[in-house]
Amino acid sequence: MNKKLLLGLLLLISFFVNAQTIEDFYDEEDYEEVIKFEEQKDLLTGQELAFIGYAFFKLEMHQKAVEFYTHAINNGFETGNVFYLRGIAHRYINNFKESEEDLSEAMKVDSSNQSYVAQLGQTYYKQNRLEEAYALFSIARKLTFDTGLPYVMVPAMHEENKEFAIALKEYQISAELIDKQDDNYLFILERIGYYESLHYKNYEKALEAYEKIIAINPENDFVLSSIMSIHTALNNHEKANEIFKHLKQKYVDGTIDEQLLLMGAVQVDRFLWGGDKYVTTYKSFKEPEKEKDEIFKTFIFSLKENKVVKTYKTMQDEGENSFHLFCSICPKEGRKTYSCRWEDKEIKFHEYKEYLMMALNDNLDCDKIANK
């Protein structure tokens, strides 16, 4: 046999032996390769067309996902999952009527599928059809676990209506019902901790929720910060300082959460004040070195106006003595520096908070508290 012909046959055989099919790429989650079969759509089965639809869906090319799921359905591949995924893709491109139709079709195939029911609820929610959405989320939450969506949305819709007591109760129910391996479980625990501590001052219950998160994710820096705030509220300053030192060391090592690394500070206290103000105090990880450097900084956030309306902070004074002063900054009034001062940078938080509370109540008298 001609050597060139033999070599050609061997190469051809090798190609067919080693060539991967669309199903191979799909199983490997190599979606870029899957969509390369797009031009062969007339030669593919309904299931293979659905593979391409899913690949486009995962690549967030939702119009193309709709197109190929439609090809799959037209080729007889009419599973509940195909209608379900096409319904979600339709919603992503604001085809709400088509989304509703597809998700309803998926529910006809399997009305007990939690994801099908919850996603139809989400389509109603996106159209502001809130009663219908809530009804479906409530039904979905009672079904066999498949998605965390309804466990979050039932209480979250009460939050949106400012029904905070009901929201907390529903988060507690969701925490009991949800699969504890789902990431939304941690979010639900965080919301329970938030409401128990900030709205109702049930600090022990809040700690219980936060500690469940830490048991799963010991290095959740934001939850550690929330725990520190609770210990501050309970005047457990030694425990609060212990957590701060731990987070500060992570900051020095560069292993702290990226957002906190950029801020160079962490929340040490938070509370509601005056009916519609959210008061949050941060403590800097950095030692003050020059004038205007701060140790504590407090933001007064107006829930009504949805913005920070005033800031309080410590500020290193100019000159050689390096006093630390208490001052406020207001967009309308500018900066105001009070006569309250600390002789060095070792400012105890409870001293700072005394000044803060007096300032919030418009009766700050720096002579009432001895500087330390």
Q: Within a domain: residue 116?
A: no
pLDDT score, position 284: 95
The Cα 279–Cα 267 span in angstroms is: 11
The H-or-E segment that residue 271 falls in is strand 265-273
pLDDT score, position 2: 55
- 179: CB partners within 8 A, 6+ apart: 145, 148, 185
Domain that holds residue 224: 219-372
Q: Within a domain: residue 183?
A: no
pTM: 0.86
Instruction: Fill in the amino acid letter for 96.
Output: F
CA nearest to 37, candidates 9, 16, 56, 11: 56
Q: Within a domain: residue 314?
A: yes
pLDDT score, position 319: 61
Instruction: Fill in the amino acid letter for 270.
Output: R
DSSP assignment, residue 288? P
Q: Within a domain: residue 265?
A: yes
Domains contained in the chain, number: 1
For residue 370, the cross-strand partners are: none
The Cα 81–Cα 67 span in angstroms is: 15
Q: Within a domain: residue 7?
A: no
Please report, to the nearest 10 degrees, the dihedral formed by the alpha carbons of residues 182, 187, 189, 190 taken in order: 160
> What are the C-alpha distances in Å from 301 to residues 70, 225, 338?
49, 19, 21
The residue assigned the tokens 């529910």 is 107
Q: Within a domain: residue 39?
A: no
172-175 long-range CB contacts below 8 Å, 24 or more apart? 174/141, 175/209
For residue 271, the cross-strand partners are: 279
Helix axes of 149-160 and 130-141: crossing angle, nearest 10 degrees: 140
The Cα 315–Cα 292 span in angstroms is: 5
The 3-class secondary structure across 313-345, one letter per residue, is EEEECCCCCCCEEEEEEECCCEEEEEEEEECCC
pLDDT score, position 320: 57
Asked if 323 and 343 touch (Cβ cutoff 8 Å), the reply is yes
The pLDDT tens digits for 199-241 are 999 999 999 999 999 999 999 999 999 999 999 999 999 999 9
Mean pLDDT by 10 residues, the chain (372 residues): 46 46 92 93 94 96 97 96 98 98 97 98 98 98 98 98 96 98 97 96 97 96 97 93 96 96 96 92 88 88 93 80 80 80 82 91 71 42
